[in-house]
Amino acid sequence: MSKFSSVIWPKVVLFGDSITQFSFQTNGWGAETANKLARKCDVVNRGLSGYNSRWAKIILPRLISSQNPAENHIAAITVFFGANDASLEDKNPQQHVPLNEYSENLKEISKFLSSAGVSADKVIFITPPPIHEPAWEKECILKGCPLNRHNSVTGQYAQACVQAAGQCGSEVLDLWTLMQKDGQDYTVYLSDGLHLSEKGNQFVAQHLWSILESRVAHLPFILPYWGDVDAKSPESSLLCDA
Protein backbone atom coordinates (compact mmCIF):
# COMPACT_ATOMS: atom_id res chain seq x y z
CA MET A 1 0.00 0.00 0.00
CA SER A 2 1.27 3.46 -0.85
CA LYS A 3 2.23 5.93 1.85
CA PHE A 4 -0.41 8.35 3.05
CA SER A 5 -0.67 11.03 5.72
CA SER A 6 -2.70 10.62 8.89
CA VAL A 7 -6.02 12.41 9.08
CA ILE A 8 -5.83 15.41 11.41
CA TRP A 9 -8.98 15.67 13.47
CA PRO A 10 -9.18 19.06 15.21
CA LYS A 11 -10.57 19.26 18.74
CA VAL A 12 -13.00 21.37 20.69
CA VAL A 13 -12.24 20.78 24.37
CA LEU A 14 -14.89 21.25 27.05
CA PHE A 15 -13.03 21.92 30.32
CA GLY A 16 -15.03 22.36 33.48
CA ASP A 17 -16.74 20.83 36.49
CA SER A 18 -19.79 18.56 36.76
CA ILE A 19 -21.89 20.82 34.55
CA THR A 20 -19.41 19.96 31.80
CA GLN A 21 -18.91 16.32 32.81
CA PHE A 22 -22.65 15.66 32.58
CA SER A 23 -23.01 17.59 29.31
CA PHE A 24 -22.67 14.41 27.22
CA GLN A 25 -25.84 12.93 28.67
CA THR A 26 -28.92 12.70 26.45
CA ASN A 27 -29.88 16.21 25.30
CA GLY A 28 -26.82 17.64 27.06
CA TRP A 29 -25.15 20.77 25.73
CA GLY A 30 -21.90 18.93 25.08
CA ALA A 31 -23.65 16.17 23.15
CA GLU A 32 -25.52 18.76 21.11
CA THR A 33 -22.27 20.54 20.29
CA ALA A 34 -20.57 17.26 19.34
CA ASN A 35 -23.47 16.37 17.06
CA LYS A 36 -23.19 19.68 15.21
CA LEU A 37 -19.46 19.18 14.70
CA ALA A 38 -19.49 15.54 13.57
CA ARG A 39 -17.00 14.93 10.75
CA LYS A 40 -15.42 18.33 11.41
CA CYS A 41 -13.75 17.89 14.79
CA ASP A 42 -13.80 15.85 17.97
CA VAL A 43 -15.57 17.40 20.94
CA VAL A 44 -13.62 16.23 23.98
CA ASN A 45 -15.24 16.16 27.42
CA ARG A 46 -12.81 17.12 30.16
CA GLY A 47 -15.44 17.83 32.78
CA LEU A 48 -14.41 16.96 36.34
CA SER A 49 -17.25 16.78 38.83
CA GLY A 50 -16.66 18.76 42.01
CA TYR A 51 -13.52 20.49 40.77
CA ASN A 52 -12.77 24.18 41.26
CA SER A 53 -10.46 26.57 39.41
CA ARG A 54 -7.59 25.89 41.82
CA TRP A 55 -7.55 22.19 41.01
CA ALA A 56 -8.25 22.88 37.33
CA LYS A 57 -5.16 25.05 37.05
CA ILE A 58 -3.05 22.28 38.57
CA ILE A 59 -4.26 19.43 36.36
CA LEU A 60 -4.57 21.29 33.04
CA PRO A 61 -0.95 20.58 32.00
CA ARG A 62 -1.77 16.87 32.39
CA LEU A 63 -4.64 17.24 29.94
CA ILE A 64 -3.07 19.50 27.32
CA SER A 65 0.63 19.46 26.48
CA SER A 66 2.62 22.67 26.07
CA GLN A 67 5.66 20.73 24.80
CA ASN A 68 4.44 20.42 21.20
CA PRO A 69 1.73 23.06 20.75
CA ALA A 70 1.37 22.40 17.03
CA GLU A 71 0.22 18.85 17.76
CA ASN A 72 -2.72 19.87 19.96
CA HIS A 73 -4.93 20.94 17.03
CA ILE A 74 -7.38 22.69 19.37
CA ALA A 75 -9.92 24.77 17.46
CA ALA A 76 -11.60 26.05 20.64
CA ILE A 77 -11.85 25.35 24.36
CA THR A 78 -14.50 26.22 26.92
CA VAL A 79 -13.40 27.01 30.48
CA PHE A 80 -16.41 26.54 32.73
CA PHE A 81 -15.59 26.83 36.45
CA GLY A 82 -17.00 28.82 39.35
CA ALA A 83 -20.02 26.88 40.62
CA ASN A 84 -17.81 25.11 43.17
CA ASP A 85 -15.40 27.98 43.79
CA ALA A 86 -18.40 30.05 44.92
CA SER A 87 -19.27 27.61 47.71
CA LEU A 88 -19.50 29.37 51.07
CA GLU A 89 -16.19 29.05 52.88
CA ASP A 90 -17.70 28.29 56.28
CA LYS A 91 -20.12 25.69 54.87
CA ASN A 92 -17.96 24.04 52.18
CA PRO A 93 -14.24 24.80 52.67
CA GLN A 94 -13.22 21.77 50.57
CA GLN A 95 -14.42 23.36 47.31
CA HIS A 96 -14.40 27.06 48.17
CA VAL A 97 -11.87 29.31 46.41
CA PRO A 98 -11.61 33.01 47.37
CA LEU A 99 -12.92 35.40 44.73
CA ASN A 100 -9.56 37.04 43.95
CA GLU A 101 -7.84 33.68 43.63
CA TYR A 102 -10.60 32.44 41.33
CA SER A 103 -9.99 35.38 39.02
CA GLU A 104 -6.24 34.79 39.03
CA ASN A 105 -6.71 31.09 38.39
CA LEU A 106 -8.72 31.82 35.26
CA LYS A 107 -5.97 34.11 34.02
CA GLU A 108 -3.36 31.44 34.77
CA ILE A 109 -5.40 28.90 32.82
CA SER A 110 -5.53 31.31 29.89
CA LYS A 111 -1.78 31.90 30.13
CA PHE A 112 -1.05 28.17 30.08
CA LEU A 113 -3.36 27.61 27.12
CA SER A 114 -1.50 30.31 25.22
CA SER A 115 1.77 28.49 25.90
CA ALA A 116 0.12 25.34 24.52
CA GLY A 117 -0.72 27.09 21.27
CA VAL A 118 -4.33 27.92 22.13
CA SER A 119 -4.68 31.64 21.51
CA ALA A 120 -7.07 33.80 23.53
CA ASP A 121 -9.60 34.01 20.70
CA LYS A 122 -10.02 30.22 20.86
CA VAL A 123 -10.85 30.30 24.58
CA ILE A 124 -14.48 30.72 25.65
CA PHE A 125 -15.04 31.33 29.35
CA ILE A 126 -18.42 30.37 30.79
CA THR A 127 -19.70 31.77 34.07
CA PRO A 128 -21.52 29.61 36.58
CA PRO A 129 -25.30 29.65 36.18
CA PRO A 130 -27.48 31.14 38.92
CA ILE A 131 -28.33 29.18 42.06
CA HIS A 132 -31.92 28.53 43.10
CA GLU A 133 -31.38 28.40 46.82
CA PRO A 134 -34.63 26.70 47.95
CA ALA A 135 -34.10 23.76 45.57
CA TRP A 136 -30.39 23.43 46.31
CA GLU A 137 -31.01 23.63 50.06
CA LYS A 138 -33.21 20.53 49.76
CA GLU A 139 -30.32 18.71 48.07
CA CYS A 140 -27.95 19.83 50.80
CA ILE A 141 -30.29 18.66 53.56
CA LEU A 142 -30.56 15.24 51.90
CA LYS A 143 -26.76 15.04 52.11
CA GLY A 144 -26.82 16.10 55.76
CA CYS A 145 -25.37 19.59 55.32
CA PRO A 146 -26.71 23.15 55.38
CA LEU A 147 -27.19 25.35 52.31
CA ASN A 148 -23.66 25.96 51.00
CA ARG A 149 -24.19 28.34 48.09
CA HIS A 150 -25.94 31.69 47.64
CA ASN A 151 -27.02 33.11 44.29
CA SER A 152 -25.69 36.57 45.14
CA VAL A 153 -22.23 35.13 45.89
CA THR A 154 -22.25 33.08 42.68
CA GLY A 155 -23.06 36.32 40.89
CA GLN A 156 -19.84 37.86 42.20
CA TYR A 157 -17.88 34.94 40.75
CA ALA A 158 -19.73 35.29 37.44
CA GLN A 159 -18.77 38.95 37.32
CA ALA A 160 -15.15 38.08 38.10
CA CYS A 161 -15.20 35.54 35.25
CA VAL A 162 -16.51 38.16 32.83
CA GLN A 163 -13.79 40.59 33.90
CA ALA A 164 -11.02 37.97 33.69
CA ALA A 165 -12.15 36.96 30.21
CA GLY A 166 -12.00 40.57 29.10
CA GLN A 167 -8.51 40.99 30.52
CA CYS A 168 -7.40 37.81 28.74
CA GLY A 169 -8.88 38.93 25.42
CA SER A 170 -11.33 36.03 25.31
CA GLU A 171 -15.08 35.86 24.81
CA VAL A 172 -17.37 34.91 27.68
CA LEU A 173 -20.79 33.32 27.96
CA ASP A 174 -22.36 34.92 31.03
CA LEU A 175 -24.96 32.35 32.02
CA TRP A 176 -25.60 33.92 35.41
CA THR A 177 -26.80 37.14 33.79
CA LEU A 178 -28.48 35.69 30.69
CA MET A 179 -30.57 33.15 32.60
CA GLN A 180 -31.97 35.90 34.86
CA LYS A 181 -32.37 38.52 32.14
CA ASP A 182 -35.60 40.54 32.21
CA GLY A 183 -36.73 38.83 35.39
CA GLN A 184 -37.40 35.49 33.69
CA ASP A 185 -37.96 32.34 35.73
CA TYR A 186 -34.44 30.94 35.68
CA THR A 187 -35.43 27.96 37.83
CA VAL A 188 -36.61 26.14 34.67
CA TYR A 189 -32.95 25.95 33.61
CA LEU A 190 -31.91 24.05 36.74
CA SER A 191 -32.63 20.45 37.73
CA ASP A 192 -31.76 20.70 41.42
CA GLY A 193 -31.00 24.37 42.00
CA LEU A 194 -27.38 24.03 40.80
CA HIS A 195 -27.07 21.66 37.82
CA LEU A 196 -28.75 22.11 34.46
CA SER A 197 -32.16 20.78 33.48
CA GLU A 198 -32.97 19.77 29.90
CA LYS A 199 -34.04 23.36 29.20
CA GLY A 200 -30.84 24.60 30.80
CA ASN A 201 -28.78 22.35 28.56
CA GLN A 202 -30.66 23.64 25.53
CA PHE A 203 -30.03 27.20 26.69
CA VAL A 204 -26.27 26.61 27.03
CA ALA A 205 -26.04 24.75 23.72
CA GLN A 206 -27.82 27.55 21.86
CA HIS A 207 -25.84 30.42 23.35
CA LEU A 208 -22.52 28.61 23.18
CA TRP A 209 -23.02 27.79 19.51
CA SER A 210 -23.56 31.48 18.73
CA ILE A 211 -20.00 32.07 20.00
CA LEU A 212 -18.39 28.81 18.90
CA GLU A 213 -19.71 28.69 15.34
CA SER A 214 -17.39 31.38 13.99
CA ARG A 215 -14.40 29.58 15.49
CA VAL A 216 -15.11 26.32 13.69
CA ALA A 217 -16.75 27.59 10.50
CA HIS A 218 -13.47 27.24 8.59
CA LEU A 219 -13.08 23.56 9.43
CA PRO A 220 -13.61 21.32 6.40
CA PHE A 221 -15.74 18.20 6.27
CA ILE A 222 -13.24 15.43 7.04
CA LEU A 223 -12.83 12.69 4.39
CA PRO A 224 -14.89 12.59 1.19
CA TYR A 225 -18.65 12.40 1.05
CA TRP A 226 -19.52 8.77 0.25
CA GLY A 227 -21.05 9.71 -3.09
CA ASP A 228 -17.76 11.28 -4.16
CA VAL A 229 -15.69 8.15 -3.55
CA ASP A 230 -14.42 6.57 -6.76
CA ALA A 231 -15.95 3.08 -6.50
CA LYS A 232 -13.48 1.63 -9.03
CA SER A 233 -10.46 3.11 -7.27
CA PRO A 234 -11.44 4.09 -3.71
CA GLU A 235 -7.80 4.57 -2.69
CA SER A 236 -7.53 7.52 -5.08
CA SER A 237 -10.36 9.24 -3.17
CA LEU A 238 -9.68 8.07 0.38
CA LEU A 239 -5.90 8.37 0.60
CA CYS A 240 -5.50 11.81 -0.92
CA ASP A 241 -4.89 14.88 1.25
CA ALA A 242 -7.40 17.07 -0.52
Catalytic residue among 65, 119, 192, 230: 192
Please tell me the distance from the alpha carbon of residue 219 to that of residue 44, in angstroms, as a whole number.
Answer: 16
Please tell me the distance from the alpha carbon of residue 46 to that of residue 71, in angstroms, as a whole number.
Answer: 18
Give the neighbor-by-neighbor strand order of the sheet with 171-173: 42-47, 11-16, 74-80, 123-126, 171-173
53 belongs to the catalytic site:
no
Sign of CA dihedral 116, 173, 165, 135: negative
195 belongs to the catalytic site:
yes
| CB 55 within 8 Å of CB 62 | no
| CB 45 within 8 Å of CB 63 | no
DSSP 42-63: EEEEEE-TT--HHHHHHHHHHH
Main-chain phi, psi angles of 80, to 5 degrees: -130, 80
| CB 50 within 8 Å of CB 17 | yes
| CB 150 within 8 Å of CB 131 | yes
Sign of CA dihedral 155, 160, 166, 172: negative
What amino acid positions are annotated as catalytic residues? 18, 192, 195
